[in-house]
């Protein structure tokens, strides 16, 4: 994602400040000069950049901080808060309500990624457990219905459209009526886009809106237009009742920051940003988590939400095994299956605190995903008896060759998987058993963890685990943060060569977090 480059520049400026022997007005000016330069290169409006600079200077009064020993912290906090303010529209976006039928209409110019975003949003709400239907009312663009039909079929989402009916208003009415009759929770209507024919586009939008009476109208905007998004957002807002905005193509263009800040300046709520072509490449937008992730500080609330969206079945046997210090091949398979369901690996790793943009640059998400899928093929070629074992029975060469032939891999790849399983098994052995932390945990807490992995962020859950001290002990039993990092590197195929130098900083930062965050229990709330 190109915004990672902006995050790396800002991080570099903040790190340069921390190396300054004396924090004075000159050091602050140097930081702001680098920060403003990075924002201007991302096509953020010069007026907004000037306003950010003035606000930071206003927050950081060097005369008042003369006796303070924590000037760096004050300056870093001021920069973070002003970056959040820059991209915050300061207005709550519309959210669908459960227990009623919600109609969402998509509008936008042609080529902005509107039809793809429709399916991505439908898939997002489907993961939330809602019943979602898609209606293609785009009769202007050839192949629009085919595109929506293919995307919807791939995501297993019901759709409605017509090759014979030419009136988009009639198609929208018929589709919405059909999904309402079938008690769908969310009905998404895709409309036609145009190039430079705004009068016709607005007229058609108004007719469809009058016919289906949408609860929310989402304007899909191309992020590559940069700060020109300001005038486009204002024009649409004046013509139709725009409830929220999705900005697309944020994965491949340097002007994404300018588009977000420009739209925020119009006080139009951005609900999602598109970061790729895949179904998972739609991220809920919220100013603070967005800036936090961009600067490599992670997004724990987003990570917990992603885990909760999986609606995992209770794996009671696995939790019992962990408490006893036992880790079978089936347990490992279940864990890898969960990781694959969470979406692109680079997106998940970006939510983890300490994963700075520099570290992510060397990470090959596609290669790591390919390796995990290869492991799943190996597991699928094993018998139930083999999966329920600790892997020692694969000392038999005949058994090893049989699984290799069944999964289409070399025996050396199976041996690598078995080695990693043994590594995990050693960690589980330390954590489980009568002396391990999981062995001492309350059975009710174990059951709660199995049902909802996100519950680990709950203060009561932390208490059951022995508080922050228990969390620290668990990490020590896993071999410290270095052990966790090595485990992740092995699991992901060693990807992340570019981030090797930053691992020590991550370890130091995480250890400081673990020792100093007495208020971590408050992180359980949803953003």
pLDDT value at position 485? 44
- Residue-wise pLDDT tens digits, 90-148: 778 888 987 889 999 998 888 888 999 999 999 999 988 899 999 999 988 888 999 99
Those residues whose C-beta lies under 8 Å from the C-beta of residue 463, and which sit 6 or more positions away, are none
Question: Between these two residues, 213 and 278, which has the higher pLDDT value?
Answer: 213
Question: Between these two residues, 510 and 220, which has the higher pLDDT value?
Answer: 220
- Of 523, 397, 406, nearest to 457 (Cα)? 523
Segment 226-240 mean pLDDT: 74
Q: For all residues of the chain together, what is the average pLDDT?
A: 74
Q: Which residues pair with 216 in a beta bridge?
A: 104
pTM above 0.75, yes or no: no
Question: 137: helix, coil or strand?
Answer: strand
Res 204 pLDDT > 90: no
Those residues whose C-beta lies under 8 Å from the C-beta of residue 102, and which sit 6 or more positions away, are 96, 185, 186, 187, 215, 216
pLDDT value at position 402? 93
Question: Between these two residues, 282 and 502, which has the higher pLDDT value?
Answer: 282
pLDDT value at position 474? 46
Most confident of 51-60, 69-78, 301-310: 51-60
Segment 415-431 mean pLDDT: 82
As given in the structure block, the two tokens for residue 349 are 């790793």
pLDDT value at position 213? 92
pLDDT value at position 320? 67
pLDDT value at position 506? 38
Question: Between these two residues, 523 and 300, which has the higher pLDDT value?
Answer: 300
Split at pLDDT 50, 70, 90, the class of 497 is very low
Percent of the chain with pLDDT over 70: 67
Res 189 pLDDT > 90: yes
Split at pLDDT 50, 70, 90, the class of 4 is low
- Residue-wise pLDDT tens digits, 146-163: 999 999 999 999 999 999
- Residue-wise pLDDT tens digits, 239-297: 677 888 898 888 765 566 667 777 776 677 888 988 888 888 888 888 888 887 777 66
What are the DSSP calls for 83-109, one per residue? HHHHH---SPPP---TTS-EEEEEE--
Res 365 pLDDT > 80: no
Question: Between these two residues, 377 and 447, which has the higher pLDDT value?
Answer: 377
pLDDT value at position 225? 80
As given in the structure block, the two tokens for residue 270 are 């951005």
What are the DSSP calls for 416-477, one per residue? HHHHHHHHHHHHHHHHSTTTSHHHHS-HHHHHHHHH-GGGGGSHHHHHHTTHHHHHHHHHHH
Q: Which residues pair with 209 in a beta bridge?
A: none
Res 179 pLDDT > 90: yes
Segment 464-470 mean pLDDT: 46
- Residue-wise pLDDT tens digits, 336-361: 887 777 666 666 666 555 555 555 55
Split at pLDDT 50, 70, 90, the class of 42 is confident
């Amino acid at each position: 994602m190109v915004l990672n480059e902006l995050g790396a520049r800002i991080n570099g400026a903040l790190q340069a400040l921390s190396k300054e022997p004396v924090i004075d007005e000159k050091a602050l000016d140097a930081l702001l000069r680098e920060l403003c330069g990075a924002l201007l290169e991302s096509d953020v409006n010069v007026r907004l950049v000037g306003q950010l600079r003035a606000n930071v200077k206003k927050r950081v009064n060097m005369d008042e901080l003369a006796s303070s020993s924590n000037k760096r912290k004050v300056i870093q906090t001021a920069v973070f808060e002003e970056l959040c303010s820059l991209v915050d529209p300061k207005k709550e976006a519309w959210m669908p309500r459960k227990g009623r039928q919600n109609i969402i209409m998509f509008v936008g110019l042609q080529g902005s990624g509107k039809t793809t975003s429709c399916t991505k949003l439908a898939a997002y709400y489907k993961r939330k457990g809602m019943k979602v239907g898609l209606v293609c009312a785009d009769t202007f663009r050839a192949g629009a219905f085919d595109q929506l039909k293919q995307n919807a079929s791939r995501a297993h989402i019901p759709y409605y459209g017509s090759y014979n009916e030419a009136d988009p208003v009639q198609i929208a009415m018929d589709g919405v009526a059909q999904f309402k009759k079938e008690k769908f929770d969310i009905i998404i209507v895709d409309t036609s886009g145009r190039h430079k024919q705004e009068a016709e586009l607005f007229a058609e939008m108004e007719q469809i809106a009058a016919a289906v009476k949408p609860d929310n109208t989402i304007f899909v905007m191309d992020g590559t237009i940069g700060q020109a998004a300001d005038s486009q957002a204002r024009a649409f807002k004046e013509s139709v009742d725009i409830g929220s905005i999705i900005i697309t193509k944020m994965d491949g263009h340097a002007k994404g920051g300018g588009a977000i800040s420009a739209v925020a300046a119009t006080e139009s709520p951005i609900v999602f940003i598109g970061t790729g072509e895949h179904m998972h490449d739609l991220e809920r937008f919220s100013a603070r988590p967005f800036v936090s992730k961009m600067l490599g500080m992670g997004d724990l609330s987003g990570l917990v939400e992603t885990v909760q969206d999986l609606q995992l079945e209770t794996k009671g046997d696995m939790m019992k095994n962990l408490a006893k210090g036992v880790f079978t091949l089936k347990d490992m398979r279940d864990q890898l299956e969960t990781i694959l369901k969470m979406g692109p690996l680079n997106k998940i790793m970006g939510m983890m605190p300490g994963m700075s943009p520099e570290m992510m640059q060397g990470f090959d998400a596609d290669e790591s995903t390919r390796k995990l899928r290869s492991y799943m093929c190996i597991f699928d070629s094993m018998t139930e008896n083999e999966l329920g074992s600790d892997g020692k029975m694969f000392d038999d060469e005949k058994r090893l060759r049989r699984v290799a032939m069944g999964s289409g891999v070399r025996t050396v790849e199976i041996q690598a998987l078995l080695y990693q399983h043994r590594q995990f098994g050693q960690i589980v052995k330390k954590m489980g058993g009568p002396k391990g932390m999981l062995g001492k945990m309350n059975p009710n807490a174990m059951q709660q963890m199995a049902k909802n992995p996100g519950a680990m962020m709950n203060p009561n859950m932390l208490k059951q685990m022995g508080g922050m001290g228990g969390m620290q002990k668990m990490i020590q039993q896993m071999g410290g943060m270095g052990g966790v990092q090595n485990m992740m590197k092995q699991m992901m195929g060693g990807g992340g060569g570019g981030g090797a130098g930053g691992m020590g900083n991550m370890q130091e930062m995480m250890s400081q977090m673990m020792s100093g965050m007495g208020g971590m229990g408050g992180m359980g709330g949803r953003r």
